[in-house]
Amino acid sequence: MTGDQYLLLPGPTPIPERIIRAMGKSLINHRGPEFRELLLEVTEGVKQVYQTNQNLLIYPSSGSGGLEAAVVNFISPGDKVLAISIGAFGDRFATIAEKFGARVEKMNFPWGQAADAQAIKTRLDEDKNGEIKAVLITHNETSTGVFNDIKSIRELTANHPALFIVDAVSSLAALELKMDEWNLDVVVSGSQKAFMIPPGLSFLAFSDRALTVHQHSTNCRFYWDVTQGLKYLEKGQTHFTPPISLYYGLREAVNMMQEEGLEKIVLRHRQYRDMVRSSVKAMGLKLVAADESASTAVTSVYVPESIGANQLRQYLYEHMNIIIAGGQQQMDDVIIRIGHLGYVRNLDLLAVLAALEMGLLKMGYELEMGVGVKKAQEYLLQKLPDNLERR
């Protein structure tokens, strides 16, 4: 961790020193040649993270702004939309579409489970006249720590013409995502999760097919209008004042990701997940997600009712300056969520697992001290003999 706290939220996430320093530079003219170069460089860099050669715009906003941008640019009032939800963020995407006039059909799956690909296929197959114009789906459901198998779902539904729109705010650069190869139409992400920079930027990537739909779409928009965005991008500008300091941070983040390589980044996150899950299991706690759909970005854990998830979090914060997330909505005070995405270091996770054991013991939970930590140590020694120090 670079700050005073052990920040293990699924966003915002810790910021590396390199990025903090990069953001401290003096500002430049946002309509001048230096910004032009910066904008083109980060746009190209973020496209590489998406693995796309199509269109990408960067907005000054949180991730939710990016979701709204996806709705107002590619969905028209009256359009029928199939919104797949496995938790709080799936619900949010559906709500945004509803607010902007879409006729939303919700497809809900129980919190803690991934979406059933076959059920989605069946529903789209029934839509013989192509009435459904868009499918909204969350890649990594941050509220539960479950990910949807976007690649398979997309493959299964490939013959339906609806735009396939993905909320990848907490997954891009933490889980594998290949926008072009997987044939995704619109993919939204943001800065404060796996990108290692502060909140304040969202990314909207869209296919050429989506751009054609946009050109005939009738929703209200100004700030989010991708026609304006693309027109200005051609000049190396944005159609609003960009948060230049965040762009400096983004350039450094993209450099760091290129140095490490996408495959290694994805593997590293998988290792965080496996280490945390094996450790928590050894403590005798129950995990929310099944192994096959467990997120590599965040791990959700049930806390025994007698202890209370929020009381445990409070203890970790007050006594050890450790910040982990609680549950949202019906999961409030039921689960804790340990974020492990972006700039995470193995030994920080080890510290948090040790603290978790101490907290549990203090609150009367029966546990042999060290069982969970030992599992994590064994995992690290076995999997990561060489790079323990670096991260």
Ligand X SMILES: *Cc1c(COP(=O)(O)O)cnc(C)c1O
Positions that interact with ligand X (CB under 6 A): 11, 62-64, 89, 138, 140, 142, 167, 169-170, 190
User: Which 8-state DSSP code applies to residue 385?
Assistant: S
What is the smallest separation between the CB atom of 195 and ligand X, expressed in angstroms? 11
Q: Which is nearer to ligand X, 54 or 140 (CB)?
A: 140
Q: Which is nearer to ligand X, 279 or 293 (CB)?
A: 293
What is the smallest separation between the CB atom of 294 and ligand X, expressed in angstroms? 15
What is the smallest separation between the CB atom of 197 and ligand X, expressed in angstroms? 12
How far is the C-alpha of 337 from the C-alpha of 301, rounded, in Å? 6
Q: Which is nearer to ligand X, 341 or 350 (CB)?
A: 341
Taking CB positions, which residue lies at the least distance from ligand X? 63
Q: Tokens representing 115?
A: 């979406």
Residue-wise DSSP of 76-118: -TT-EEEEEESSHHHHHHHHHHHHTT-EEEEEE--TTS---HH
What is the smallest separation between the CB atom of 236 and ligand X, expressed in angstroms? 26
Beta bridge partners of 335: 302
Q: For residues 89, 95, 98 and 102, what is the CA-based torsion angle, rounded to 10 degrees? A: 0
Characterise 378 by phi-psi region: left (phi > 0), alpha (psi -120 to 50), beta (else).
Answer: alpha
Q: Which is nearer to ligand X, 247 or 379 (CB)?
A: 247
Q: Which is nearer to ligand X, 90 or 242 (CB)?
A: 90
Is 265 in contact with 361 (CB distance < 8 Å)?
Answer: no
What is the smallest separation between the CB atom of 140 and ligand X, expressed in angstroms? 6
In Å, what is the CA distance from 32 to each residue of 27, 36, 223, 237?
11, 6, 21, 8
Q: Which is nearer to ligand X, 140 or 279 (CB)?
A: 140
What is the smallest separation between the CB atom of 67 and ligand X, expressed in angstroms? 6
Nearest Cα to Cα of residue 304 among 319, 290, 284, 320: 284
* Cβ neighbours for 123, distance < 8 A, ≥ 6 positions apart: 82, 107
Q: Which is nearer to ligand X, 95 or 377 (CB)?
A: 95
How far is the C-alpha of 350 from the C-alpha of 278, rounded, in Å? 12
For residue 90, which amino acid is it?
G
What is the smallest separation between the CB atom of 185 and ligand X, expressed in angstroms? 17
For 332, other C-beta atoms within 10 Å of its C-beta total 11
What is the smallest separation between the CB atom of 367 and ligand X, expressed in angstroms? 31
Greatest extent of the chain over all pairs of C-alpha atoms, in Å: 63
Q: Which is nearer to ligand X, 148 or 279 (CB)?
A: 148
Q: Which is nearer to ligand X, 73 or 170 (CB)?
A: 170
How far is the C-alpha of 302 from the C-alpha of 290, rounded, in Å? 13
What is the smallest separation between the CB atom of 128 and ligand X, expressed in angstroms? 32
